[in-house]
Structure 1
Amino acid sequence: DLNYNELLEFPGAIRTLGRLLELGFHNNNIKAIPENAFVGNPLLQTIHFYDNPIQFVGQSAFQYLPKLHTLSLNGATDIREFPDLKGTTSLEVLTLTRAGIHLLPRGMCQQLPSLRVLELSHNQIEDLPSFHRCQRLEELGLQHNRIHEIRADTFVQLAALRSIDLSWNYIQFIHPEAFVTLHSLTKLDLTDNQLITLPLDGLGGLTHLKLQGNAALSQPFAKDSFPKMRVLEVPYAYQCCAYGSCSNFFKKSNQWGAEDLSPEEEDPHKRTMELFPGHADNHYDLDADDLQLDLEESKLHPTIQCTPNPGPFKPCDHLFESWIIRLGVWVIILVSVLCNGLVILAVFASPSYLSPVKFIIGSIAGANMLTGIYCSMLALVDALTYGQFAKYGARWETGAGCRVTGFLSVFASEAAIFLLTLAAVQCSISVSCVRGYGKSPSLGRVKAVAFCCLLLSSVAATLPLFSIGEYGASPLCLPYPIPDGKPATLGFTVALVMTNMLCFLTITGTYIRLYCNLLKGEFSAVWDCAMVKHVAWLIFTNCLLYCPVAFLTFSSTLNLFLITPEAIKSVLLVVLPLPACLNPLLYLLFNPHFRDDLRLLRQKGQDKGSYPQSCGVDDMEKSSYDSTQALVSFSDIDHIFETPDSLGVHP
């Protein structure tokens, strides 16, 4: 036993120990194993070389050791070829990990007919030979390699093979008959590959199956396909719906091994020794999982642990699981589309004067209408998949439709907030310019700034398409945090919410300053006080309704409060798009400009152009003046509001 020393070189005196049975070299600093290293140790049964910075292994180092049954070697990064094990015919456990092996020799199984455990993880193996001559092989570990496909003859006739680990490879194709002859196979790990389909022939005896990380693998798995299944890990929660999984029934655990280690923490040698603790005694013991499974065989209705679990954000039956939510979303759709359409018509189709603030209000209505269209797309998906959402959920999340829907939602919400900020700043600047120069900023400049707002909104909505944030994290296609979501998506969400909060703070500060100046009587004339008041109402409602969204975001980030997934889903479906309904209603019900524009549109339709447009404009201005004077008053002036002509502003 030479373990846990500071050996720098392989001790050549080992060759003189002719009766040596077990040799431990692990946890030293040995960098090379020379040729014919054990030529004088024919009785050697076990060699442990793991946890050494081995860079070189002689091709004949382990030849002609007929009694050797356990060989553990890892970290030999300079090894490019599989070692020649000629004459070492009794080897049962071979662990050769974290090396640079690219290719396995085709005659490997002829040299190792007694091999039961083969651990070749963390290498660079790209192609697999046929293992059909390794008839006693029971466990095969090939995780963290570069394997691209599994052919029909790769595992043919391996009747004793119980466990295969092919995780963290690049497997795109598995032959339909690759597992047909594996009658003893109970564990199969294909985590983090590139599979599109999984052949099910020969997998009826599986008790453990791992498929997470295969984003393109969305096929449903019927319960009859795996009659003995106990632990199933699939890419999408919807694939667990067939097994009766729900968010509150199963607790998250991992029965594959004692712990679910990360790739960096996983020790292949320790993993092998845990599964086969009796290797040193040439004896095979069942691991804890198998003992547990044997105890469960007598159960008439064994349960299946399937992860990830379905829940409110991964529903099995309906996208909108509550009729209250469903009706609320439809009301939002109808109100936002119809009312915002009416606002757009009144603002841009009316022959009246189009002031800069009025133009911004119409643009906000356009953004709010896009929010209604986003909600209608979700409602359409809910209607088309009613009662069977699990069959289409994975394809919806990963498809182009979800990305378009998410883009539309983020673009609409950000555009509305940026344009509202512009409206507040425009009102403040207009009043200041009227006082100082006798005129307000031109409509052309406001249009240019509004275009910049739309450009910024499109940039924010495009970022998740380039993996900065994620639209497909849930079927709602929103980049906002969801329970058990990826931490990587929180950065984008927090940045988005912080930007929006900064906008609302800017809006609030600007309007407080504006109202204080107006109440002090510093301005002798304000033309569009109705619009100033309308923007104030928009600021109040939008700030108020955005608070729950910001609260959920920071609560999820900092784990401040325990909020149920149902509450989060309700906020995202109802509260988040609610401003798209209230904004147009405030304009339609309380803004006198809408009544003026509606009257002018009606006159325009009745007269069919019999009156000159200039007359209509004059009437509008007078009506706007009258209604504004009736609604808004200030304490320091005689409540006289000038027309655009008096301020030097012309359409």
Structure 2
Amino acid sequence: MNAPKLEYIAVEDFSRMPRLKSLYITQAPMLEKVDPLPTMLELRTVIITSSGLTEVPNLSRVHPVKNDSIPYLQAVDLDGNQIKRIPAHALRIRADQVSLNYNLIEEIPAFSFKYAQISKLGLKGNVKLSRLDDNAFAGNLLLRQLDLSFTSITSLPTAGLEKLQSLKIENTPSLKYIPSIYDLRHLESADLTHSFHCCAFAFPERHDPARHKLYEMQVDLMTQACKSEQMQARKRRSLEAIRPISLESRSRGTTGTDEDWSLSSSAEEFGSTVQAEPSLEFLYPDSVEGLEEDSFHDLVDQDVTKGIVAMCGNFTDTRPQVVCRPMPNALNPCEDVMGWSWLRASVWVVITAAVVGNIAVLVVLLANHAEITVPRFLMCHLAFSDLCTGIYLLMLAVVDLRSYGVFFNYAYNWQYGVGCKIAGFLSVFSGQLSVFTLTIVTLERWFAITYAIYLERRISLAAAAKIMFAGWVFSIFMAGLPLVGVSDYSSTSICLPVESKDAGDGIYQGSLFLTTMVAWLIIVVCYVQIYRSLGGGGEKYGGRGSAAAAERRIANKMALLIGTDLLCWAPVAFFGVTALMGWPLVDVSHGKVLLVFFYPLNACANPFLYAILTKQYRRDFITLIARTGKCNWLVQKYKLAATPPPTAHTNPSTPAAMLPLVDYESHTRAIKTNGEAGV
């Protein structure tokens, strides 16, 4: 201990220590290599920790592997060194535990543990370990426990892990795919990183359909074999007295019938185990004699009687039930992105309305760029933000279709890939920009209607551009925070930053709800003022009640627009705030209903209420068609329908003018001018 100058160990001296049972070296930073150890039959523990070892010492000659009468090593502990490689055959040993935790291992080559008998293997904390050869653990005869936590592996090979009972791969977010339970038939417990990997053990028929079908075929064959055995047994009982067969004679294969041998052979052929006394020859109980007080680790449970237990007359399927952690939870349940079939169908209706509607509005508004006013300018931004919401839902719907029924097999690539980050960014960005734009639209209406006489109080196009630039910067900033570690888009399949791990996440999520609340208060106050300013009707406008009625109709339309947005925001904000306060009322499965029916409500309604269902939009749309020179019949039909009846002040031969999309500013100015003229 504390040997800063120790550089070399004369291992040949150990051959003169036949009763040496423990070799313990720690905190020897200059010790980079230990020569192959000689044969030491009494050695039980080899512990070299927190030193400078760069490779695993060769321990293959300590105990001759073929000599079963020699007790095995209790522990080989090489934690906290600088080990980068495992030489071939260095660990051809029999040991209860081999610990290589917290080293610098980058790769486990093929057959690194060939002919070894290691019960528990620890590779925890090798953060550079990224590659495991397909045969990395092949040839290890007894591996029962494996720890690969805090590594960078992307896959787990199954060769050599057939009898594994305990698997730990915690805090290893790089692991994409977990093997099938049919490759790990004796697995009892698994501590993993992602909850969706536990879904693979819970639903093996969806995780690996081919292997599950083969398993069912095996069960069917076993069932038929047992039925055949039962029928033969009945025939024998009808001819002669039942002669009991002892378990001992059955295990030695000396019992009587061809059917018994056929059943046993079938079980072994299909990787199953007929109930029998388990072989315990590898326990070597004398190896722990006298070491109980200094036991480094508890011995591993060696009961390997797992699989399909066949008892003719009482056939049972005992496929292992794996205790897996972290269990699927409210954020990541074992279900598809959309969860329910009706939700899967409904989302496409919402997507169609949001994407097609907002694209139609943008095309018409941008085509008439020569007549851009402040309301048009703001509606362009609103349509774009709502279009982003539709694209977000489209990305979720496409992933749902591609991974239908087996999403947990695709969960890693989706949630930790670029796609989910883009979807989450679009969701938060569109939500914040939409809220911001609607607030500015409401303020602009409030100025235009309440202070129609004072033209200097209007919002100019240049001022509106500066305001919306600030809105874009704010929205991009809020949507970008989860990309730099404040909350996370990968916490759930719908790519929303809903998981709160620390105070920073809670503050971020609370700020999103606070922004919506402030916007709601501003909108409500502004519309109360608008209604108050129009409340006088004829008195306020010098007896011209029609002017006030026109203004009121405009305010009612805007109130309808804002009402849809409040209906969109309120449920999401309510359930979000309750979740932040520690009282979640809905899980993600039911929260997806909010996602489809409430969250995108404004994205669907705004393009229709603002433009598509108005006469002004139809006129602008016909103007756009007229510019193309096509569908002239439609243009002429619209002109005839829009031509007013002849009067003393109109020329019946002149078609109706193509009015632009509703210009609230000029419309309000005309109403107020008429009102003043009336006075």
Say whether the fold is shared (TM-score over 0.5): yes
1:366 corresponds to: 384
Please say if 1:290 is aligned against 2:290: no
Pairwise CA distance, 1:228:
1.2
Asked whether the equivalents of residues 39 and 62 of structure 2 are also in contact (C-alpha less than 8 Å), the reply is: yes
5+ long unaligned stretches in structure 2: 65-71, 205-286, 310-315, 542-546, 641-653
Asked whether the equivalents of residues 469 and 491 of structure 1 are also in contact (C-alpha less than 8 Å), the reply is: no
Letter aligned with residue 159 of structure 2: D
Pairwise CA distance, 1:441:
2.5
Letter aligned with residue 385 of structure 2: A
1:582 corresponds to: 605
SS in 2 for 1:584: helix
Pairwise CA distance, 1:277:
9.0
Asked whether the equivalents of residues 141 and 165 of structure 1 are also in contact (C-alpha less than 8 Å), the reply is: yes
Question: 1 CA distance for matches of 2:600 and 2:289?
Answer: 62
Q: In the superposition, relative to structure 1, how do residues 374 and 625 fare at CA in structure 2: closer, same or farther (>3 Å)?
A: closer
1:24-43 deviation per Cα after TM superposition (whole angstroms, max 9, x unaligned)? xxxxxxxx767xxxxxxxxx
Question: 2 CA distance for matches of 1:312 and 1:134?
Answer: 46
1:634 corresponds to: none
Q: In the superposition, relative to structure 1, how do residues 304 and 622 fare at CA in structure 2: closer, same or farther (>3 Å)?
A: closer
1:224 corresponds to: 182
Asked whether the equivalents of residues 139 and 161 of structure 1 are also in contact (C-alpha less than 8 Å), the reply is: yes
Question: 2 CA distance for matches of 1:370 and 1:562?
Answer: 28
2:659 corresponds to: 620
Letter aligned with residue 500 of structure 1: T
Pairwise CA distance, 1:336:
1.3
Asked whether the equivalents of residues 66 and 87 of structure 1 are also in contact (C-alpha less than 8 Å), the reply is: no
Q: For residues 332-351 of structure 1, what are the structure 2 equivalents within 5 Å?
A: 332-349=350-367
1:17 corresponds to: none
Pairwise CA distance, 1:68:
4.8
5+ long unaligned stretches in structure 1: 1-31, 35-54, 247-275, 630-637, 647-651
Question: 2 CA distance for matches of 1:625 and 1:550?
Answer: 31
Question: 1 CA distance for matches of 2:288 and 2:454?
Answer: 88
1:425 corresponds to: 443
Letter aligned with residue 568 of structure 1: G
Q: In the superposition, relative to structure 1, how do residues 154 and 567 fare at CA in structure 2: closer, same or farther (>3 Å)?
A: same
Question: 2 CA distance for matches of 1:86 and 1:516?
Answer: 94
SS in 1 for 2:486: coil
Asked whether the equivalents of residues 197 and 408 of structure 2 are also in contact (C-alpha less than 8 Å), the reply is: yes
2:44 corresponds to: 92
1:557 corresponds to: 580
Q: For residues 196-275 of structure 1, what are the structure 2 equivalents within 5 Å?
A: 196-245=154-203
Question: 2 CA distance for matches of 1:506 and 1:66?
Answer: 87
1:599-620 deviation per Cα after TM superposition (whole angstroms, max 9, x unaligned)? 7667876269999xxx999773
Please say if 1:494 is aligned against 2:495: no
Pairwise CA distance, 1:642:
4.3
Question: 2 CA distance for matches of 1:442 and 1:116?
Answer: 82
Report the TM-score, using the length of structure 2 for normalisation: 0.67
1:542-599 deviation per Cα after TM superposition (whole angstroms, max 9, x unaligned)? 2332122223333333312453332223223432222211223333587665466457
Question: 2 CA distance for matches of 1:479 and 1:281?
Answer: 51
Of 143, 153, 160, the match for 1:195: 153
Letter aligned with residue 333 of structure 1: I
SS in 2 for 1:290: coil
Asked whether the equivalents of residues 330 and 589 of structure 2 are also in contact (C-alpha less than 8 Å), the reply is: yes
Letter aligned with residue 363 of structure 1: H
Please say if 1:162 is aligned against 2:162: no
Asked whether the equivalents of residues 530 and 628 of structure 1 are also in contact (C-alpha less than 8 Å), the reply is: no
Question: 2 CA distance for matches of 1:457 and 1:367?
Answer: 10
Question: 2 CA distance for matches of 1:581 and 1:305?
Answer: 45
Letter aligned with residue 659 of structure 2: M
Q: In the superposition, relative to structure 1, how do residues 295 and 220 fare at CA in structure 2: closer, same or farther (>3 Å)?
A: closer
Asked whether the equivalents of residues 75 and 96 of structure 2 are also in contact (C-alpha less than 8 Å), the reply is: yes
1:10-54 deviation per Cα after TM superposition (whole angstroms, max 9, x unaligned)? xxxxxxxxxxxxxxxxxxxxxx767xxxxxxxxxxxxxxxxxxxx
Question: 2 CA distance for matches of 1:603 and 1:329?
Answer: 35
SS in 2 for 1:222: coil
Please say if 1:101 is aligned against 2:52: yes
Q: In the superposition, relative to structure 1, how do residues 544 and 278 fare at CA in structure 2: closer, same or farther (>3 Å)?
A: farther
Report the RMSD for the aligned CA atoms in angstroms: 4.7
Question: 2 CA distance for matches of 1:492 and 1:279?
Answer: 58
Question: 1 CA distance for matches of 2:339 and 2:95?
Answer: 49
Q: In the superposition, relative to structure 1, how do residues 354 and 422 fare at CA in structure 2: closer, same or farther (>3 Å)?
A: same
Of 436, 439, 442, the match for 2:460: 442
Pairwise CA distance, 1:359:
2.4
Higher helix proportion: 2
Of 90, 100, 107, the match for 1:142: 100
Letter aligned with residue 464 of structure 1: P
Q: In the superposition, relative to structure 1, how do residues 279 and 450 fare at CA in structure 2: closer, same or farther (>3 Å)?
A: farther
Asked whether the equivalents of residues 147 and 169 of structure 2 are also in contact (C-alpha less than 8 Å), the reply is: yes
Question: 2 CA distance for matches of 1:511 and 1:79?
Answer: 77
Pairwise CA distance, 1:357:
2.2
Letter aligned with residue 542 of structure 1: D
Asked whether the equivalents of residues 312 and 321 of structure 1 are also in contact (C-alpha less than 8 Å), the reply is: no
Q: For residues 296-307 of structure 1, what are the structure 2 equivalents within 5 Å?
A: 300-301=317-318, 302-307=320-325
Of 291, 294, 300, the match for 1:280: 291
1:236-255 deviation per Cα after TM superposition (whole angstroms, max 9, x unaligned)? 44444443349xxxxxxxxx
Moved more, 318-327 or 618-627: 618-627
SS in 1 for 2:94: coil
SS in 1 for 2:397: helix
1:469 corresponds to: 487
Moved more, 55-64 or 449-458: 55-64
Q: In the superposition, relative to structure 1, how do residues 115 and 549 fare at CA in structure 2: closer, same or farther (>3 Å)?
A: same
Pairwise CA distance, 1:166:
0.7
Q: In the superposition, relative to structure 1, how do residues 576 and 618 fare at CA in structure 2: closer, same or farther (>3 Å)?
A: same
Asked whether the equivalents of residues 488 and 499 of structure 2 are also in contact (C-alpha less than 8 Å), the reply is: no
Pairwise CA distance, 1:417:
1.4
2:396 corresponds to: 378
Of 129, 132, 152, the match for 1:174: 132
Letter aligned with residue 620 of structure 1: L
SS in 2 for 1:359: helix
Letter aligned with residue 509 of structure 2: T
Pairwise CA distance, 1:322:
0.9
Pairwise CA distance, 1:432:
7.1
Asked whether the equivalents of residues 167 and 190 of structure 2 are also in contact (C-alpha less than 8 Å), the reply is: yes
Q: For residues 386-535 of structure 1, what are the structure 2 equivalents within 5 Å?
A: 386-430=404-448, 434-438=452-456, 440-481=458-499, 490=506, 492-513=508-529, 515-516=531-532, 519=535, 532-535=555-558
The structure that has the greater radius of gyration is: 2
Moved more, 210-219 or 519-528: 519-528
SS in 1 for 2:498: coil
Q: In the superposition, relative to structure 1, how do residues 334 and 279 fare at CA in structure 2: closer, same or farther (>3 Å)?
A: farther
